[in-house]
Structure 1
Amino acid sequence: MNKERKNIGLAMLLIFSSLLVCLDRIFWQSSPDILINDKVNIQQSLMQIYHASTLIGIDIFAITLGSLLQGSEDKSWSSAIKYWIYTIFVGTLGLLVLTLFSREFSIGDLYNMLFPFVRNTYGILSGIVLGMLTLPLFNKGVKKYENIIKLSLLLVIIAPTIFNKDIFGFANGTVFGYILVNLGFYGNYIRSKLSVKKVVTRIILLLLTNIIVVSLMPEFSKAIHNDLSTAGRFTNSASALLILLAFYIVLLVSKIKVNVKNGYVDFIIYTAWALLVISNNQTLLNKLIEYNRKTAQSVTRWILAKDIKEILWLMLIVILSNFIILGICKLIGISQKISNFYDIRADEELSQFFYRITNGIKSWLKAHQVYLATIAWGYFLAIFSFLMMNTKWTVAPNVDVKYNIFTYTIGVRQAMVLVNAIIFLLFLKFIFSLTNRYWFSTIVASLLWIIWVVANRIKIGIRNEPILPSELSMIKAWRSLLGMVDGWILLLVVSVIVITIPIIYFLEKKYRLPKQKWYSRVAWLIIIPVIFSSVTFLNHEKSVIHIISGGIGNDPTFYN
């Protein structure tokens, strides 16, 4: 049992802040009638104060998480990996659930969930993860250059507020998240240097300053610009006043020494993290906002009531789901495996840690080079099959558009190429599960795939259409079909088979790979046919496979 303990107060603050973020994302995008107010009055000032109270949520979240993680630099890399895998899983699962209920699917949304960093899906969370990766460097640097780090953080926070420009790309989110989590690191570092009295005094001063500045900005905007264009000048999460208020709130809570076991706090962190992932899923938000607009008719109190109810239900669902998800991860040991590999050991310098990680990745790539090569081979065969279906070097999907077949295949039809690669790999896996012979399965699957592609290419050349499902029944008349094939083709097929048999025998003997466990084979023999059987519903409108198929650009024609 892990005996390390963490501050439960900070963990609960993390949950509270994540709920504020959800409320901010849903409520203000629902266009409540309170936004119609374009006059300088009490209501406008109160609206600005309320909006600022939800915007501070993201500041508190990132700073709180930084404060919780600061003392765990040995686990910072493993934490970053775990949170990122969890982010991808929650996002993808959420998209699947949304597809089931909304009956809509977009390949762009799937890419956003699977590749959140390069697609900038979760800017703030990306910045926090980057902060986790650099935490060991921060802890080493802050001991030597505390004043420089403090001044740098203050400069980055204050400069955009003074100049009213997004000079550090805060709107993008990643830089903003990185700065905030480092501010949390720094806050935990200086926690013991500030008394509770000083922290409470600064919180009161910053709270009053925020209320005064935020509520008076509509008046200044009207006086200077004769409109409300700058009424929200300080009503944004990047405002230095809000960030500093969040900083000292976190600092105060961190001084409340009520600690519990790490496991409980980690569960709360994952729950709060999931809420942030969901609140940044614009597709899901759009559905909720659309529903609320229809049912609440932009009435502020109705929208607010609906939002709070939905957020509480969402939190309950996330908590229940986490019991299952995190329980399974613990059961299969994936969390411990990541920790064993990525934790910085007590006797390790950073240079030794990076050397070990680099060597470990190299060793993993070397140990799995055959499987990685097979994946690459499957991708190549998918591209090959697409190219072979063309009779010209160009393709014109529309009247006024023409593409080179390579550009069209690798660019426009990339989603379908990936689907075909997955189909090939599943086909290979099925044969492997039947025979438990890797090289035999790979070569046989490849030959059958190539034969199928060539047969379709021949049919397209003759009839300008691929082999139809109904024509597969003609295989019963295989003797008549062989009579229609040129002799040199039959000779070539026989030669390939004769050559392939000793190659398979050699590879199975010389480069023998680990065999599958019996339960793994049984599982795959059940799962793969179920996956392939989904095509029987491909032409059923509003079926899940039909929706996903359309979303990835697959538009099959059913001849019969």
Structure 2
Amino acid sequence: MSQKIKLALLTGVVVLLTGLLLFSQQYWQLDLADLNLTKHVTTEYKQLALFKGVTLLGKTLFLVVLGFLLGNESKLRYAKAVKLWGLTIITSAVLQVVALYLNNDFSISELYNSLLPLLRNTYPLASGVVVGLCCLKKVDEYLLKLSWRQLIIVLIVATGLPSIFGQDPFAMNDGNGLTFGLVMFLFGAIVARKKVWLQTKRCLILATIMGASYLLINYWMPYISYDVHGNYSTAGRFLNSGALPAVLFAVFMGMGILPFLGSLARTWKLRLADFAYLGLICATNSSSLLPILKRHFEKNSTAPQVMLLIIAELGGLALGTLMLAVLARTAVNKRLEEQWLGYDLIDVLDSLKSKVLENKRYLLGILGAVVLSYSSFFFVTPNLELTIGKTTHDIGEYILFARPMMIWLNVLIIIALWGIIFGLTNRYWVSTLGVAISMLVLFVTENIKVGIRNEPILPSEIVMLKAINELLHMATTPVLVGGAVGLGLGISLIVYMERKYPQPIIKWMTRLILVAVSCLFFSSSLFLNHSKGKMHIVSLALGNDPTFYNQLLGAQQNGPLLQFLDNVDTQVMEKPADYSQAKMAELANKYNALAQKLNQTRTNNWQDQSIIFSLSESFADPNRVPGVSLAHNPIKQIQGIMAKNTSGLMLSSGYGGGTANIEYMSLTGLTVANFSATLPTPYTQLVPFQKQAWSFNQLFAKSAAIHPYEGVFYSRPTTYKKFGFERFYHLGSKYKITDQETIDRSPYLDDKTAFANTLRVLKERGNGQFINLVSMQNHFPYDKGYYDGTKKYRATGSAVTDETTADMIADFATGLSYTDKAVANFIKQIDKLNRPVTIVFYGDHLPGIYSGNNMKKDGVVLHETDYFIYSNKYARKQGAKTKLVKATGLVAPNDFPAMVAEQTNSKVNGYLALLTKVKDELPAMSTNPKMNATNNYNTMVSFVTKQGKILKPEQLTKQQQELYHDYQLVQYDMTAGKQYLLKNKDFSK
């Protein structure tokens, strides 16, 4: 037989077996064919069982052939094993990228599986092949000395016990275990190396008998199972590639056909081995490929459709093999083979040791990066304790054991920075010590800022470097002297090390690649917050939690470096197509004219009255929640106020959280639903970066914010300052929270305290002021038993699924009863004042305790809170209304500025005129109320009618769509655009 024919035969066998392997590993895991018997054996089952048996026979023979292809590589066994191990990692990583691209699927577990395929036994059969390569020398020492009969007996003992006794002492795992892969691979290697072979005809006859026996056993097993057990529990006992007849079929078939092909060129056999090994990895990578396959095939899909995909995969494997063939000719490959030729394990370890010593400067640099990364968490945690919710953790222990991946992500950031500097300078000590010193300076600065502001360094603060002289003037003399001395010592150390211990330089191409890869790594931060982007999916899977509502907590959980990058990707909102200076001038004229029209009937000015926006934490009537009923009404007095005054329901964009977003909307008149998906929290991601940020309080001569809690959350100090608030009263501020009281065992200052401080500021600062009050009394958790007397508000109903839920609702409702009393008392107090005062009281969101409700079904109701607008007696005497009647049943928080203007009969500017029109003519705007995401990535804006119907923008009338577009243009201009409107006094002042 000619060499060409042998070559064609071997190639055909390898391709056929690889295709069968791909099919058997993928098709039968897709549940496209039902092989579960319940009542009786059907013709379809028998056909499918035979079909599956044939494909599994190919899988067993595949391993023997792969062993035959690599069986003569004993001199290069370690080099080849290392190559296949590296190929496994690379291929697995590529498959994970494919899964990410096609299926938007990524997990940290799969990442570990890709990087540690042997340790995590990700690919048992492939691992058996790699281990088998390392054992080839032992084949010569022990196995080749045995006769064929002895070898087959050993094989029967090793693989036959599970078939005979139903036990698996050698972990063959029905032909899927590492041991099975090792045994079958080694037998194929023996076929390649043994000098004497059995007769071909005899082997093929035995193979035919074993194959037929295997198929017949599986054909009759359902009947045997039923006769013995009375059911079909063991019908598929032998329907696997590890069954003894299947193993013997592969053995005899391999012995019958492979010896004739042994004279083929080594190079071609190696290429075929690469092809087959790639196929083995793809076939057994079910975690990445199966989701992709299931996306393309439904239950009624047929085998031919899967075969088309298998053919496409074989083409990809052929291309991958071609690339490996090219790489095999490189100097790296030849050097590896030369160095490891005939090495024993000790030699390999010695070689690895020399490689480590040769590159120890880089390994020490990585170790230094790990130390810097781990230490960074301590610098942003001054008391070395991390508090999440009500649980406190030791920062070092928590990061090391609960979030180790964050250490490595920060290590990558440090290494990438080093890569850029080293690539540009080609100086090891300049880059290494320069990065280390810079990191220490940065971490100390982080520690100082955290101590002063309880907030890490954010990208927005980089612009402060433009005012470096002013910053230096703000620093104390010891700090300046210490910094100068430290800088001098650092530079001296770098110069000393460069002169005393110069390190080898690297080639310009390597430097270029190093800089390019490092820059590519940093550029990924530009896509971290794209909610549907691949980088975002990977980032979440790795455990990155930006926690935008609490930047300090984010830095403590993620590390200051990663938290900094998390804040880089902030796209405010998509630019409307017709946005221009001329268009904004047109809108300014349009709504300034509307303001003039509205002001013809309005008599009051903002400077003559006081307005309070009172955000009540989690305030929402539990009795409105479907399936929930309270024994008593906890907010009876507030409902009485609502009945006589402007009131209704407010559509919240949060559930269980999102306070600052609701607060932002009420103060600015802008909806978060219009913002980009990368802007979940305007308080921390937008306002600090704006040149100007319009807020309702700017219409008043005096304004103050009151929050009877820690002020750090949501960057409120920075945000309020940008908004123009003169004072911020919070715990620890220079503007003190007085009259501090709590209720029973609650750790939060109560609403009585909140209103007492509001009344005090109201009296102290006189008329013409705005107060933004944000309470804390009813904040979670609700399972700590904070209040006495909760039995009075016991919850029942279909949505109260367990005692824990009932207790939490009762605890929450008890807190509402105290709010009810505090609000009623505050209303009495402001009625005594002889100046106009109006309060907008509203709940920000429902508490996240209604686990018995379905968000898709009850989402709108679970996003509706209670609100009212009350003007005191003096305000009503001055022309304020008692009860608005137009568009008040269901409103959004961005409607409040316009509503309070209408209620107090106050004159408006062009912007408030626009908001008035939006309030009157558009349904309430929100993010998707069918979702419970809080401080998460925004969805497309939803419009909700008074009847609770959700509309998309295209479902609005033509006039409503035009109005909404005007509103979008204005919001873009004020937040992401050129802010033309903020320069127009008639529109914004």
The Cα offsets for residues 362-395 of structure 1, whole Å up to 9 and x where unpaired, read as 2211111111111111111111112322234443
Measured in 2, the distance between the counterparts of 1:182 and 1:494 equals 67
Are residues 8 and 130 of structure 1, via their aligned partners in 2, closer, same or farther at CA, if it must alter by over 3 Å?
farther
Partner of 1:107: 108
Partner of 1:264: 268
Partner of 1:251: 255
Are residues 57 and 483 of structure 1, via their aligned partners in 2, closer, same or farther at CA, if it must alter by over 3 Å?
farther
Measured in 2, the distance between the counterparts of 1:455 and 1:536 equals 24
Q: Does residue 530 of structure 1 match 2:520?
A: yes
Bigger radius of gyration among the two: 2
Are residues 56 and 390 of structure 1, via their aligned partners in 2, closer, same or farther at CA, if it must alter by over 3 Å?
farther
Contact 2:95/2:289 (<8 A) preserved: no
Greater Cα offset, 57-66 or 10-19: 10-19
How far 1:97 sits from its partner (Å)? 2.3
| % identical equivalent positions | 26
How far 1:245 sits from its partner (Å)? 0.3
SS in 2 for 1:72: coil
Q: 2:154 aligns with which of 152, 155, 163?
A: 152
Measured in 1, the distance between the counterparts of 2:361 and 2:513 equals 23
Partner of 1:338: 336
More helix, by proportion:
1
Are residues 215 and 79 of structure 1, via their aligned partners in 2, closer, same or farther at CA, if it must alter by over 3 Å?
same
1:466 alignment partner AA: P
Q: 1:360 aligns with which of 342, 351, 355?
A: 351
The 5 A counterparts of 1:160-559 are 160-171=162-173, 173-190=177-194, 192-257=196-261, 259-294=263-298, 298-299=299-300, 302-327=301-326, 329-330=327-328, 332-344=330-342, 353-397=344-388, 402-556=392-546, 557=548, 558=567, 559=685
SS in 2 for 1:130: helix
1:335 alignment partner AA: N
Measured in 2, the distance between the counterparts of 1:229 and 1:291 equals 31
Are residues 417 and 255 of structure 1, via their aligned partners in 2, closer, same or farther at CA, if it must alter by over 3 Å?
same
SS in 2 for 1:74: coil
Partner of 2:18: 18
1:32 alignment partner AA: L
Measured in 2, the distance between the counterparts of 1:325 and 1:491 equals 59
Partner of 1:122: 123
1:342 alignment partner AA: W
Are residues 105 and 244 of structure 1, via their aligned partners in 2, closer, same or farther at CA, if it must alter by over 3 Å?
same
Partner of 1:347: none
1:161 alignment partner AA: S
Measured in 2, the distance between the counterparts of 1:91 and 1:512 equals 39
SS in 2 for 1:192: coil
Which protein has greater RCO, CA pairs closer than 8 Å, 6+ apart? 1
Are residues 267 and 73 of structure 1, via their aligned partners in 2, closer, same or farther at CA, if it must alter by over 3 Å?
same
The 5 A counterparts of 1:66-105 are 66-105=67-106
Measured in 2, the distance between the counterparts of 1:529 and 1:33 equals 49
Measured in 2, the distance between the counterparts of 1:417 and 1:124 equals 33
Partner of 2:590: none
Greater Cα offset, 60-69 or 430-439: 60-69
SS in 1 for 2:142: helix
2:320 alignment partner AA: S
Measured in 1, the distance between the counterparts of 2:249 and 2:150 equals 22
Stretches of structure 2 that go unaligned for 5 or more consecutive residues are: 549-566, 568-684, 687-989
Are residues 355 and 447 of structure 1, via their aligned partners in 2, closer, same or farther at CA, if it must alter by over 3 Å?
same
How far 1:454 sits from its partner (Å)? 1.8
Measured in 2, the distance between the counterparts of 1:383 and 1:189 equals 53
Contact 1:26/1:288 (<8 A) preserved: no
How far 1:154 sits from its partner (Å)? 2.6
Contact 1:40/1:222 (<8 A) preserved: no
Are residues 225 and 289 of structure 1, via their aligned partners in 2, closer, same or farther at CA, if it must alter by over 3 Å?
farther
The Cα offsets for residues 30-58 of structure 1, whole Å up to 9 and x where unpaired, read as 22244355422443333222212222233
How far 1:283 sits from its partner (Å)? 2.7
How far 1:11 sits from its partner (Å)? 4.7
The Cα offsets for residues 422-471 of structure 1, whole Å up to 9 and x where unpaired, read as 11111111111121110111001111111112212221222221112111
Measured in 1, the distance between the counterparts of 2:151 and 2:388 equals 56
How far 1:223 sits from its partner (Å)? 0.9
Greater Cα offset, 84-93 or 501-510: 501-510
How far 1:6 sits from its partner (Å)? 9.2
Contact 1:191/1:251 (<8 A) preserved: no
Greater Cα offset, 106-115 or 190-199: 190-199
Measured in 2, the distance between the counterparts of 1:259 and 1:242 equals 27
The Cα offsets for residues 106-141 of structure 1, whole Å up to 9 and x where unpaired, read as 121111111111111101111111011011112112
2:371 alignment partner AA: F
Measured in 1, the distance between the counterparts of 2:34 and 2:212 equals 24
2:230 alignment partner AA: N
Contact 1:188/1:251 (<8 A) preserved: no
Measured in 1, the distance between the counterparts of 2:498 and 2:334 equals 34
Aligned residues: 543
How far 1:230 sits from its partner (Å)? 0.5
Contact 1:394/1:402 (<8 A) preserved: yes
Measured in 1, the distance between the counterparts of 2:474 and 2:35 equals 75
Are residues 380 and 212 of structure 1, via their aligned partners in 2, closer, same or farther at CA, if it must alter by over 3 Å?
same
The Cα offsets for residues 467-525 of structure 1, whole Å up to 9 and x where unpaired, read as 12111111111122123333333222222222233322232223221112223223333
Measured in 2, the distance between the counterparts of 1:257 and 1:521 equals 47
Are residues 279 and 354 of structure 1, via their aligned partners in 2, closer, same or farther at CA, if it must alter by over 3 Å?
closer
1:117 alignment partner AA: L
SS in 1 for 2:412: helix
Measured in 1, the distance between the counterparts of 2:490 and 2:469 equals 24
Are residues 256 and 187 of structure 1, via their aligned partners in 2, closer, same or farther at CA, if it must alter by over 3 Å?
closer
Q: How big is the alpha-carbon RMSD for the aligned residues of Structure 1 and Structure 2?
A: 2.4
Measured in 2, the distance between the counterparts of 1:187 and 1:481 equals 78
Contact 2:69/2:270 (<8 A) preserved: no
Contact 2:197/2:255 (<8 A) preserved: no
The Cα offsets for residues 163-210 of structure 1, whole Å up to 9 and x where unpaired, read as 112222222611121111122233334573301121122112212211
Partner of 2:53: 52
**TM-score normalised according to structure 1 size:** 0.91
How far 1:143 sits from its partner (Å)? 4.3
Measured in 2, the distance between the counterparts of 1:496 and 1:151 equals 75
**TM-score normalised according to structure 2 size:** 0.52
Are residues 537 and 189 of structure 1, via their aligned partners in 2, closer, same or farther at CA, if it must alter by over 3 Å?
closer
How far 1:234 sits from its partner (Å)? 1.2
Stretches of structure 1 that go unaligned for 5 or more consecutive residues are: 345-349
Measured in 2, the distance between the counterparts of 1:319 and 1:7 equals 16
Are residues 289 and 357 of structure 1, via their aligned partners in 2, closer, same or farther at CA, if it must alter by over 3 Å?
closer
